[in-house]
Amino acid sequence: MTPQPPLSPMPSPLSSATLGKVRRMLVARLTPEVLNPFDRSPERAQIVRQAIAAILEDPELELAPAPNLVAAVEAAVCGLGPLQALVEDPEVSDILVNAPEAVFVERAGRLEPAGVALASETELIEIAQRIAALAGRELSVSHPIGDARMADGSRVNAVIPPVGGPYLAIRKFNRLRLDLAPGGPHGRDWVTEGGMSAEMADFLTRLVRAKANVLVAGETGAGKTTLLRSLTDIFDPSERVGVVEDTAELALENANRFNLETIHPHELAGGEAESRLLDVGDLVANALRMRPDRLIVGEIRLPKEAFYTLQALHTGHDGSATTIHASSAEDALFRLELLARQSMRDLTVADLRTYIARVFDLVLVLRRLRSGLRIVRQVAALDGVNGDGYRLADVFRADLTASAEEARFVRDPAWQPGARLRARLEAEGERWT
């Protein structure tokens, strides 16, 4: 298909009512994947323009599909106005609109002013409603909070009056792939980027191959998903990997895998995680019937997810992994414990902690520094419980510089793997030295 040269769209001469009618006809004619405003490929643009031209030829509209009019309608119906350039910028990962004149973006891990502005709150609301409509959702006074996922995996959250705002937050789909160490297939790696030391990468490689169960923790935007992708690249190609996610983000490259994703309610205001028609817990339970060798759960947010994930990893699916929001290994285990306790009330606190300690072998904690650098700040080994707490030992930790913009990675030379980890290593032909 020959790409069309870009047209300079003029302001749309059509009324908002006519544009709304064109938008509804376009949504009925094209799939969400094609209408996705975050996909600006020439092939997609040509399909959209051909569909708009066909719609404008409808006798009821009494319009002529001139090229400039088609481009203007495309910008008004499918584009994101001044935000479109930010969507197309590969260096931008998040777009945050606090007000028409207060637009911020995240580039290389740092928030900064975007250098663009919208004309008015009305334009901001229209852009948010346009995104919602293209995702098959409603954003209105009766449904003032919107949480939508686009076809490419990008996530959009919008808030309009009377709740507040208007505000708009766009998290573009993260396609970043990093190998753990140099020499991998992706051309970029955690060691070269400064996120971990070569010794840490070698340690994680050995433990993942030995089928250690891993809990990845960190704050929002710390790099949990990216690290989880890197760990799955180490899996043996012959292993069947089951992936369960609330929103498809991982996009793993493992050939022998299956992906399950939660079903979201159609109504935008009802899109909270608690009201999914099929939630992560349901899908984890089903994944166990699909013969996975390893299980990857995108994130644990709810008690049901914690319960089913712990049960799945306790029934022989070694080498599995999941993520959780927390700022330290201790906090990660405590949050997991709080969630699990709501679904496992028949267990005492001591029994629950023993249960968790028998599931996970490693807790990896990530942090985003002020410089935007994402690092593995803590690699903690979990070896059972000790009295009232978990027996955690920092195998590696990151010591920050005075400016907190880079880190020096330190290993505990006295650490030795516990009996379970040592058994895992020996089962894979590894001898710890």
- Mean residue pLDDT across the chain: 85
Closest CA to 388 of 323, 344, 342, 334: 334
CA triple 297-198-191, angle to 5 deg: 70
- Please give the pLDDT value at position 277: 65
Owner of token pair 């481009």:
71
CA quadruple 328, 330, 333, 337: dihedral, nearest 10: -130
CA–CA separation, 4 vs 47, rounded Å?
10
| Tens-digit pLDDT profile for residues 59-116 | 777 777 778 788 778 777 777 878 888 888 888 989 999 999 999 999 877 889 999 9
H, E, C per residue of 66-118: CHHHHHHHHHHHCCCHHHHHHHHCCCEEEEEEEECCEEEEEECCEEEECCCCC
Closest CA to 125 of 176, 71, 73, 162: 162
| Tens-digit pLDDT profile for residues 239-294 | 999 999 877 777 888 889 999 988 655 433 344 444 446 778 888 889 989 999 99
Tell me the mean pLDDT in the region 151-177: 86
Whether residue 5 is preceded by a cis peptide bond, meaning omega within 30 degrees of 0, is no
Owner of token pair 């490259």:
253
- The contacts found for 112-121 with CB under 8 angstroms, 24 or more apart, are 114/86, 116/82, 116/83, 116/85, 116/86, 117/82, 118/81, 118/82, 118/83, 121/166
| Tens-digit pLDDT profile for residues 107-156 | 877 889 999 999 899 989 988 988 887 777 788 888 899 887 776 778 88
Class of residue 298 by CB neighbours under 10 A (exposed 0-12, middle 13-18, buried 19+): buried
194 to 100, 157, 230, 325, 365: CA distances (angstroms): 36, 32, 15, 22, 15
The dihedrals phi and psi of 171, each to the nearest 5 degrees, come to -110, 105
Written as six digits, the tokens of 249 are 């983000």
- Please give the pLDDT value at position 175: 75
Owner of token pair 């998040």:
94
Domains (range + CATH), the chain? 1-79 (no CATH), 81-173 (3.30.450.90), 190-427 (3.40.50.300)
What single string gives the DSSP state of each residue in 322-341?
EEEE-SSHHHHHHHHHHHHH
CA–CA separation, 21 vs 27, rounded Å?
10
Asked if 168 and 118 count as a contact pair (C-beta separation under 8 A), the reply is no
Asked if 317 and 361 count as a contact pair (C-beta separation under 8 A), the reply is no
Share of the chain above pLDDT 70, in %: 91
**pLDDT tops 60 at residue 23:** yes
CA–CA separation, 216 vs 190, rounded Å?
15
